[in-house]
Amino acid sequence: MLDIIPQFELQKFNTLAVPVNAKYYTEAASLDALAEALAWVRQHKLPLMVLGGGSNIILKDHFPGLVLHIKISGVEVVKETAQHVWVKAGAGENWHGFVQTCLSRNFWGLENLSLIPGNVGAAPIQNIGAYGIELCDVFDELEAVSRSSGQTEIFCLQDCQFGYRDSIFKNQLLDQFIITSVTVKLNKQPALHLEYPALKQAAAQIEESLTPQKVSELVCQIRRSKLPEPQSLPNAGSFFKNPVVSQDCYDQLVRQYKSMPAYPQSDNQIKLAAGWMIDQAGWRGFRDEGVAVHNEQALVLVNPGHCSGEKILQLAEKIKQSVTQRFGVSLELEPRVYP
């Protein structure tokens, strides 16, 4: 039986701790509950917002429709060979919990993605990535329910059109599907990825032999040392995507800014570090009443004052304008703004 709650307070359900309400809220812990919720929202002709851990959203105002919190749980091995194991997780599983479960069972490959907030179902939306690994490196397939037909469809790696913090679910299929499970293909033999500078440096200081479990611990340590934990300092992680520019654009920039970090991508493109540009533009540590730019990483905006989404977005806009003015590079928001 569907439990629809009116005027539901969302402050605890978004990691920026923005105090707004949903006109209606419900949870779906099964495919049947999901189908009922979709039917309800169609019947009442209301907008729908699908919610996971709320760590990549900015709530600009009260949500005028139904917030559907995905709670589908379960982790199971669905296939196994001598070298690999395919593990399927329900969309409502906490991402870091899933990583830990896999590590505890000696299934390797997710260690660099430790401690990313949020749930499994949102991981494909922006092809989560950290410390040199992205979801697409281990992804096998996902199941998703069409919001219009209610049918379940399977998406393989190619179908998802994963890119840098991007997927088909942010583009052609925006708001078309609700992801209900994700299957990853993991290794039975460790294959460590320690190329990312901060991780390489931390690993170099370890005397014992490195295991994936140890790599996960190092990633957690590095993250805790510079990224604010939303429970104590509300934030939504990186506020802007790292811009990817042409080689020509980069050549011009580096003539003026000799120490500008740059990471070559495919197709002669160069990824710039948005955090570095924001820092250079003088924003690191800036505080405007209850909203601030994090001191350890200027890419992260924090909301200790539990201010409105509007106020956070005003600061973001000022930062964006000053980066454009200084570098001629346009920054794009990473979290999704609702409504």
The residues annotated with a catalytic role in the active site are 165, 238, 334
Task: Pick the stretch among 87-95, 141-149, 237-245, 251-259 that binds ligand NAP (CB under 6 A).
Answer: 237-245
Cβ atoms of 243 and 263 within 8 Å: the answer is no
* Strand ranges in the chain using DSSP code E only, listed in sequence order: 5-9, 21-28, 48-51, 57-59, 63-70, 75-80, 84-90, 129-130, 133-134, 139-146, 152-156, 177-187, 235-238, 244-246, 262-264, 269-272, 287-288, 291-293, 300-302, 336-338
* Residue 121 binding result from ligand NAP, ligand FAD, none, given CB thresholds of 5 to 8 Å by partner type: ligand FAD
In the bound state with ligand NAP, the residue whose beta carbon lies nearer, of 86 and 196, is 196
Phi, psi of 324 (to 5 degrees): -65, -45
242 binds ligand FAD (CB under 6 A): no
Applying CB under 6 A, among 70, 133, 274, 292 the residue interacting with ligand FAD is 70
237 binds ligand NAP (CB under 6 A): yes
* Residue 52 binding result from ligand NAP, ligand FAD, none, given CB thresholds of 5 to 8 Å by partner type: ligand FAD
Residues 20, 12: Cα–Cα separation, whole Å? 10
Task: Pick the stretch among 46-54, 126-134, 204-212, 305-313 that binds ligand NAP (CB under 6 A).
Answer: 126-134
Closest distance of CB 229 from ligand FAD, Å = 7
Q: Is the N-terminal amide bond of 304 cis, ω within 30° of 0?
A: no
Applying CB under 6 A, among 41, 122, 123, 130 the residue interacting with ligand NAP is 130
The two tokens of residue 74 are: 């379960």
* Residue 198 binding result from ligand FAD, ligand NAP, none, given CB thresholds of 5 to 8 Å by partner type: ligand NAP
Applying CB under 6 A, among 58, 103, 123, 274 the residue interacting with ligand FAD is 123
Q: Which of residues 84-123 bind ligand NAP (CB under 6 A)?
A: none
Q: Which residues contact 212 (CB under 8 A, 6 or more apart)?
A: 103, 108, 109, 111, 190, 192
Cβ atoms of 118 and 93 within 8 Å: the answer is no
Applying CB under 6 A, among 46, 198, 203, 254 the residue interacting with ligand NAP is 198
Closest distance of CB 40 from ligand NAP, Å = 32
* Residue 117 binding result from ligand FAD, ligand NAP, none, given CB thresholds of 5 to 8 Å by partner type: ligand FAD
Applying CB under 6 A, among 137, 196, 304, 329 the residue interacting with ligand NAP is 196
Cβ atoms of 270 and 250 within 8 Å: the answer is yes
Applying CB under 6 A, among 33, 54, 85, 281 the residue interacting with ligand FAD is 54
Helical pair 212-226 and 197-204, crossing angle rounded to 10 deg: 120
Q: Which residues pair with 179 in a beta bridge?
A: 144
Residues 270, 135: Cα–Cα separation, whole Å? 21
* Residue 257 binding result from ligand NAP, ligand FAD, none, given CB thresholds of 5 to 8 Å by partner type: none
Residues 293, 206: Cα–Cα separation, whole Å? 32
Applying CB under 6 A, among 216, 297, 303, 308 the residue interacting with ligand NAP is 297
* Residue 133 binding result from ligand FAD, ligand NAP, none, given CB thresholds of 5 to 8 Å by partner type: none
Pairing mode of beta strands 63-70, 129-130: unpaired
237 binds ligand FAD (CB under 6 A): yes
Cβ atoms of 137 and 109 within 8 Å: the answer is yes
67 binds ligand FAD (CB under 6 A): no
* Strand ranges in 81-196 using DSSP code E only, listed in sequence order: 84-90, 129-130, 133-134, 139-146, 152-156, 177-187
Applying CB under 6 A, among 22, 41, 90, 117 the residue interacting with ligand FAD is 117
Closest distance of CB 70 from ligand FAD, Å = 4
Task: List contacts with ligand NAP (CB under 6 A).
Answer: 129-131, 196-198, 226-227, 237-238, 242, 261, 263, 273, 275, 297, 299, 334
